[in-house]
Structure 1
Amino acid sequence: MSVPISYGSILRQLKQHHQNKLHAQYRLFSSTPLYWQKAPASTISTATSKAPTRKERLVVLGSGWGGYTLLKHLDKSKYETVIVSPNTYFAMTPLLAQAAVGTLDFRAVMEPVRSNGDVTFHHAWVDALDIQTRTLKLMPAYPPSFREVDPTVSLQEQQHEVHAQLQSQLGRNTDNGERLPHAVPPHSDGKRQARVALEEQSRAPARIPEAKGGYATSFKKPVHRRDVEGMSTASEVPSASVSPATTRGADDKLTQQHGMVHPDDLPRIAEAAMAQEQGRYYELKFDKLVIAVGAYNRTFSIKGVKENAWFLKDAQNARSIRWRILETLEQASHPELPEEDKRKLLSWVVVGGGPTGAELIGEIHDFASNEIKRIFPTLAPLIKLTIVDSAGAILHTFDERLSQYARAKFLNNRIDVRLKRTITGVEPGVLHIKEDGALPFGLLVWSTGITSSPLIRSIKGIKKEKRSLNLLTDDQLRALKAEEGQELVELAPPPKPGVPPNESRCTEEAYENIWALGDWRMMPATAQVASAKAKHLASILNGEMGELGSNSTAAAAYQDQRYFKYSSRGAMTNLGSSQAIFESPVANMTGRTAWLLWRGAYSWMSMSWRNRLLVPWGWLVTATFGRDVSRF
């Protein structure tokens, strides 16, 4: 016998069940059953819920060997991790020489910073550090979306650039002395039209040919980077041959004759542009700070180096060198160019006999011996490679026998090795050497060491080594405190550079929340040292050596482990032609065995599995099909 189904009864039961569930969390008002009030938390659960605690903000300055290695080994769940860098990538510096000649693709030697999860990235320069308020002053490293006047050049440079544009608008002399038609016809409203024309020109994106190869966009180098790397275009260099006082009379005459605005009447526009640039600054607070900004190229204040030499510090430099090498080849292939001029263009010089200079000259030799010989057979015999150094040996930091092996290898490859030379100046296309006189060049790569960045020099309240201006730290890599005006400290060099006694301890007062990948015992400024320090600091920040700030007995037991101890794993340099040298505390190697070890080591040292596969794959492709000779 079937039982009839009462759908109304089922609906009532479901409704009652739903109301019972709600009563577990809500209390019904007695007066009105249509309004609900949330029940106290005690009636829901006996467990007490804690408010989420804010993570400490850890800011890392720099994306080089120190900053990026720290980022890879840091436990990001413990901190709100922020990284600030003017570069959006990490560059595998030992492989940049190969990228410069097309042995490897650029993406195989670069790691994007934004690919790291749980990290906030600021593409910016650090212009100031306020230790007391724990504040950083940042300037975006990218250009503004819209601008009227280029805000990255100084007032004097802006006036000079406007002056040049006004001269071109008034007409310029041709080779036969005739004047071209006026860009702006003279009339009573010429000032307004000139101003409008200049503003329209400044808004339009420009392709400016770089002095070091390639093209810039409508934005020049920021001032604080130009001061270190040098002017990038001729238009940025004010004329030194004619003083403003000399040109003022002629300018006044032109202004009165054509109704144009004089450059000295434009400071208000320039000041307004600088004010707009000031508005781009912003501040970033930090709880903990790691300073790992790296270093800049050292030019020893030799005149003309910044303006006329190339450098090899990051992927952009490598691309510029590649551009310039191929550019000189194209220029020298002109059928009517005299052979003497071809030889000048194909004279490629590297100043600096350290690992970077030695590896670059070796890679250029391989490029010239293979691809250039095949593609430019008539130009290959005209190429001359020269390496210049002030020391008495190539790779003088290596064992003497290894250094002599490297020199013999270069001489066997017909590379001109000039030692104990003094550079007196650099002009466009000419390197002046005290002992040899003028040496013409088509490419000059400057690789003579490093110096501290402008940020490090401007920091107050942290001790610095007097000669190198590097930040000083204690044995736990904490920045040493200093009274204002007493930051510079002179340290005695260790008996053997790079091998200081590890048992010595620093007793100076240090900051508890600021670390720097500087040094206390003048360790070598190499990628190996920076990487080792970053890994050690990551262990401290991760709490693997006791929680920071804890005074417990367990934390005190880790005190000795927090002291950084550097142990060299050796050094190696690729010399080209499948030859290398390797120095280690155990044994030294030369030849093809050292070359295979070099390749295996740097393949494995890549920061991601992607590049650990791309690097050997790139070598295989190059060995099979040759180097990439495209210019982009």
Structure 2
Amino acid sequence: MIYMLGAGWASSSSVRGLSLKDYQPVVISPRPYFVFTPLLASTAVGTLEPRTALESVRTIPGAEYWEAAVKSIDFEKKEVHCISGLQNWDPQKSFAVKYDKLGSSLKVIAVGAHTQTFNIPGVREHAYFLKETRDAIKIRRQILRCFEEASLPSTSTERQKQLLHFCIVGGGPTGVEFSAELHDLIHDDLARSFPSLMPFVNISLYDVAPRILSMFDSSLAEYASNHFARQRIEVHTLRTVTRVEEGVLHLKEEDPVKFGMLVWSTGLEMTPLIKELQGVKKDEKAGRIMTDGHLRVLQPAQNEDGVSKVVPDVYAIGDCAVIEGAELPSTAQVASQKGAWLRKRLNLIAKKGLLKNEASTSASKDAELEIGRGFQYHNILTLAYLGSWNAIAQRSEGHGIRGRFAWLLWRGAYMTKTISLRNKIRVPILCRLVLVRALTEQITANKGWLW
């Protein structure tokens, strides 16, 4: 038996393909579906339907699913305490799961993380996040609401400028891609329905760092900033948000900024479960669970040789965990690779008959010698969409692609990574429609070939 806590990238990658003759996977999550997060920006503006970003957990072959949230974990008793929203979060109906049965039962913590707000007043009350499909739906409704209210005869010019000022905080891939998708929606679609409002539209991107897309090479980041400037997307770096009020963004470096919608995308914050979790080693920077190179959870204590002990029968992967001594980005690609690596490792452990001996008292090299080296991250391709069918792609430092070809790579990567056959068909069809529209507009405007 293997209990998977969470239904995100790491969980999905580790459960799919797990040897069913050796393991019986049980996914415990309050969310009965896996969210393909790179598509959320597209679903927020209507380019893709929300269903294209969802995959039901129950479609995983051989996996059992329980719709419940993990309330606490007792490592001494080896119990996971759960509570379900289907029962109105009734404490009397909570239940405990025993994850150690004669050494043959394991637990994988993959509960993900929340959006980081840095405890800035007003963010949770007045900003929109982009972590779930329901967030994308709320954002789409707010965009349309802003345009509809701005179009009313009774709306003043000052109010129109505020309603049509869209602010995005966070210069990472999510914030940049949403800014790009929003630009495309406004100038390719809404401009036809609200032509008189276009002079009032303003998109502003704020980030505390010196430049946006810090994980990319500086030349690609500069290309992105220049492309945004041509699209009249204002990029404000070295900006610190002090508080947020209804319709007003307060910054340390400049006067308050009025907005119609604020989208917040500034990194990750640990869930209450991880924050309150005891008996595990955590990193000081973000409070994530610390693991060894084999993704086994570490204890705060060390053995006589100064090596950290591992928590028996427990792994941690995804955004809630970090490998000791390794600096890896908190991205879907890293989480997916960790999940895939753990799946292969567990299958190999079972194949060699080492399952009962897997839980050791220290993070020694014995397991490495028996079943191979630890996890190693391979940056396949880092992508970011910039709007108007342009993107940037980077595999390693100094080696990047930009423009229309990078856009095709961006869409192609998402097409191949979607899990179900249904979405593998839907996404390319919708992408083809977008490409046909791009070609048509290029030819009509006599701007030459798309490339």
CA gap of 1:412–1:389, structure 2 versus 1, over 3 A, is same
Equivalent residue, structure 1, for 2:336 = 531
Equivalent residue, structure 2, for 1:420 = 238
Q: CA deviation at 1:625?
A: 8.1
Q: Secondary structure at the match of 2:223?
A: helix
2:418 to 583, 606, 615: 606
Contact 1:386 1:417 in 2 (8 A): yes
Contact 2:16 2:61 in 1 (8 A): no
- Post-superposition CA distance 1:456-511 (Å, at most 9, x none): 1111111111221110111111111235xx9xxxxxxxxxxxxxxxxxxx942213
For the residues of structure 1 that align with 2:436 and 2:406, how far apart are their CA atoms? 22
1:516 to 288, 299, 316: 316
- Post-superposition CA distance 1:156-175 (Å, at most 9, x none): xxxxxxxxxxxxxxxxxxxx
Equivalent residue, structure 2, for 1:540 = 345
For the residues of structure 2 that align with 1:363 and 1:451, how far apart are their CA atoms? 25
Q: CA deviation at 1:72?
A: 1.3
Contact 1:100 1:318 in 2 (8 A): yes
Equivalent residue, structure 2, for 1:175 = none
Are 2:412 and 1:588 equivalent residues in the alignment? no
For the residues of structure 1 that align with 2:13 and 2:4, how far apart are their CA atoms? 11
Equivalent residue, structure 2, for 1:117 = 61
After TM superposition, the structure 1 = structure 2 runs for residues 122-137 of structure 1, keeping only pairs within 5 Å, are 122-137=66-81
Equivalent residue, structure 2, for 1:563 = 374
- Structure 2: which amino acid aligns with 1:536? W
Are 2:41 and 1:97 equivalent residues in the alignment? yes
For the residues of structure 1 that align with 2:412 and 2:125, how far apart are their CA atoms? 37
Contact 1:70 1:535 in 2 (8 A): yes
Contact 1:353 1:387 in 2 (8 A): yes
Equivalent residue, structure 1, for 2:266 = 448
- Post-superposition CA distance 1:343-368 (Å, at most 9, x none): 11111000000000000000000001
For the residues of structure 2 that align with 1:137 and 1:621, how far apart are their CA atoms? 47
- Post-superposition CA distance 1:331-350 (Å, at most 9, x none): 11212111111111111000
2:112 to 270, 294, 311: 294
Give the percent of matched residue pairs that are identical in Structure 1 and Structure 2.
38
- Post-superposition CA distance 1:87-110 (Å, at most 9, x none): 111111111100000001111111
Contact 1:129 1:135 in 2 (8 A): yes
After TM superposition, the structure 1 = structure 2 runs for residues 134-153 of structure 1, keeping only pairs within 5 Å, are 134-142=78-86, 144=88
**Runs of at least 5 residues in structure 2 that lack an aligned partner in the other structure:** 100-104, 359-365, 439-451
For the residues of structure 2 that align with 1:557 and 1:126, how far apart are their CA atoms? 31
- Structure 2: which amino acid aligns with 1:584? R
- Structure 2: which amino acid aligns with 1:582? A
- Post-superposition CA distance 1:47-102 (Å, at most 9, x none): xxxxxxxxxx2100111110111111312332221101121111111111000000
Q: Secondary structure at the match of 2:16?
A: helix
After TM superposition, the structure 1 = structure 2 runs for residues 149-548 of structure 1, keeping only pairs within 5 Å, are 277-286=90-99, 287-482=105-300, 507-517=307-317, 518=321, 519-520=323-324, 521-543=326-348, 546-548=352-354
- Structure 2: which amino acid aligns with 1:339? T
- Structure 2: which amino acid aligns with 1:387? L
Q: Secondary structure at the match of 1:482?
A: strand
Contact 1:546 1:558 in 2 (8 A): no
Q: Secondary structure at the match of 2:348?
A: coil
For the residues of structure 2 that align with 1:363 and 1:557, how far apart are their CA atoms? 45
Q: CA deviation at 1:609?
A: 2.4
Contact 2:7 2:111 in 1 (8 A): yes
Contact 2:345 2:371 in 1 (8 A): no
Q: Secondary structure at the match of 1:395?
A: coil
Q: Secondary structure at the match of 1:385?
A: strand
Q: Which has the higher contact order (CA 8 A, sep 6+)?
A: 2
Q: CA deviation at 1:588?
A: 1.0
Q: CA deviation at 1:372?
A: 0.4
Higher strand share: 2
Are 2:7 and 1:67 equivalent residues in the alignment? no
For the residues of structure 2 that align with 1:578 and 1:89, how far apart are their CA atoms? 30
Contact 1:93 1:314 in 2 (8 A): yes
CA gap of 1:556–1:320, structure 2 versus 1, over 3 A, is closer
**Runs of at least 5 residues in structure 1 that lack an aligned partner in the other structure:** 1-56, 145-151, 153-276, 487-505, 627-632
TM-score by length of 1: 0.63
- Structure 2: which amino acid aligns with 1:583? Q
Equivalent residue pairs, number: 416
Contact 1:578 1:595 in 2 (8 A): yes
1:577 to 383, 388, 400: 388
Q: CA deviation at 1:623?
A: 5.4
CA gap of 1:333–1:462, structure 2 versus 1, over 3 A, is same
CA gap of 1:88–1:551, structure 2 versus 1, over 3 A, is closer
For the residues of structure 2 that align with 1:311 and 1:556, how far apart are their CA atoms? 41
CA gap of 1:81–1:561, structure 2 versus 1, over 3 A, is same
| Structure exhibiting the larger radius of gyration computed from Cα positions | 1
CA gap of 1:625–1:327, structure 2 versus 1, over 3 A, is farther
- Post-superposition CA distance 1:19-50 (Å, at most 9, x none): xxxxxxxxxxxxxxxxxxxxxxxxxxxxxxxx
Q: CA deviation at 1:396?
A: 1.6
Equivalent residue, structure 2, for 1:615 = 427
For the residues of structure 2 that align with 1:557 and 1:408, how far apart are their CA atoms? 47
CA gap of 1:295–1:559, structure 2 versus 1, over 3 A, is same
CA gap of 1:524–1:557, structure 2 versus 1, over 3 A, is closer
For the residues of structure 2 that align with 1:399 and 1:474, how far apart are their CA atoms? 29
- Post-superposition CA distance 1:511-548 (Å, at most 9, x none): 34100012222321111111111111001111267333
Q: CA RMSD in A?
A: 2.1
Contact 1:291 1:516 in 2 (8 A): yes
Equivalent residue, structure 1, for 2:443 = none
Q: CA deviation at 1:624?
A: 6.1
For the residues of structure 1 that align with 2:182 and 2:357, how far apart are their CA atoms? 57
Contact 2:368 2:374 in 1 (8 A): no
Q: Secondary structure at the match of 2:235?
A: strand
